[in-house]
Amino acid sequence: MSERTFLLPDVGEGLVEAEIVAWKVRVGDVVVLNQPLVDIETAKATVELPSPYAGTVVALHGNVGDVMEVGKPLIVFEVGGDIGPAESAVGAEGSGPVAEGVGRTAVLVGYGVADEEAVATRRHRRTAGDSSAPTPVGAPAVATPGLAPRSTPPVRLYAKQHGVDLATLAGTGRAGLITRDDVERALSSSPVPGARPSAPITGPTSTSRFVGRELESWATGPKEERIAVKGVLRSMSDAMVQSAFTSPHAAVWVRVDVTRTVELLASLKQHANLSGVRLSPLTIAALAFCDAARHFPGINSSFDNATNEVVVRRTVNLGIAADTPRGLIVPNIKDADQLDLVAMASALDVVVDKARNGTTTPNEMIGTTLTITNVGPFGVDAAMPIIPPGTGAILAMGQIAKAPWVVNDQVVVRYVMELAMSFDHRQIDGALASAVLAHVGRFFQDPAPALIAG
């Protein structure tokens, strides 16, 4: 028998740390090859790590909530003979095992994205406590030291609004998850004395959400709260500082009559063949931005500081800024310029839903070439966003609202939207940026011919 140490691997590009979300094994457990060991939360995704060994767990390094450095010991195994690490634990380039060794560990191959609904996330974890094993499927939720009851963000918000303590409930959902039905049953059978439901949330997000977690009530909470900068918040902070102080930002904007876009989307939604396809102005923006890149390839570029070169790409990996319970992330749609209306709508559905559920993979977070951020649902007319590092431009969509507009010298009511674009002025000048934004604007003004031609 011999001991083998599993070091925390880099599950993405250049990640340096990860937070322990949930242990799936305990000391003394006998595990098989590729058995899930632990869920970790990186700056990019919640990831489930498989075992690179078959053997007995003799030590776990770190508790739930601890932030671990990549390359540091995570789990110690006792294995029979001189068994080496599994094929699934070798680096992406076949450079060696993700186990004991010197220097940075290779990227782990064979990991899976964890089921966000089945693990505790930062938003509903309490202070770090003891590790815990997973709840068997079909079993009611059991309170575990160091963890808050498991549920999804909408259920937690619904329970909070109605004064229901989730710690008093047994979850009937998958793996003991507390569902909305569980909360409603509690409300109908045993109302909480003195509970006052909060006002309904009518906007796109709760005002209690801040940097990916819930704060105490303004009236009853502490006078000051300090929030550790880690995970998604750390990634966003570092990226924005890097971009703001390395890329000379400039911006252009335009106000556009989008009445025909609104009418076209309303008409398409009634089409039987498009039943179930979620079409929105974001779909049109994605198609328009990709079309602009085909006409003006220079916009789909980045500045390589190391080589002092401009890199122009002939394919668009379209980043979509997503507001999630974990914070702001920007997953991307690979080869978005090859997609038609329906394919783009479906791709946007997938990328946004995965971001909100916390199941975005590390691969979906790298290689972005252009980005769109939509501030319209927040009731905002315009924004001048910071360019994501490694890209050349980001398009911001404002809200669509009725406004007076001059058509054939007559003032009429039209649907109007503000479009703005920040760009890296090192390789993109004002003329190119203006041409791109004007192209996107024309697409919105009359999308049907552009969609047919595309």
Catalytic residues, by residue number, are: 425
- Judging by beta carbons within 10 Å of its beta carbon (0-12, 13-18, 19+), is residue 393 exposed, middle or buried? buried
Which structure tokens are listed for 240? 């924005």
Helices within 296-359 (DSSP H only): 341-357
Beta strands in 8-146 (DSSP E): 17-23, 30-31, 36-41, 46-50, 55-60, 67-69, 73-79, 112-113
Q: Phi/psi of residue 341, each to 5°?
A: -55, -55
Whether the CB-CB separation of 77 and 110 falls below 8 Å is answered with no
How distant, in Å, are the alpha carbons of 15, 35, 56, 75, 191 from that of 90? Answer: 17, 16, 21, 17, 54
How do 410-424 and 401-407 pair as beta strands?
antiparallel
Q: How many CA atoms lie within 13 Å of 449's alpha carbon, on the beta-carbon side?
A: 4
- Give the integer Cα–Cα distance in Å for 408 and 6: 71
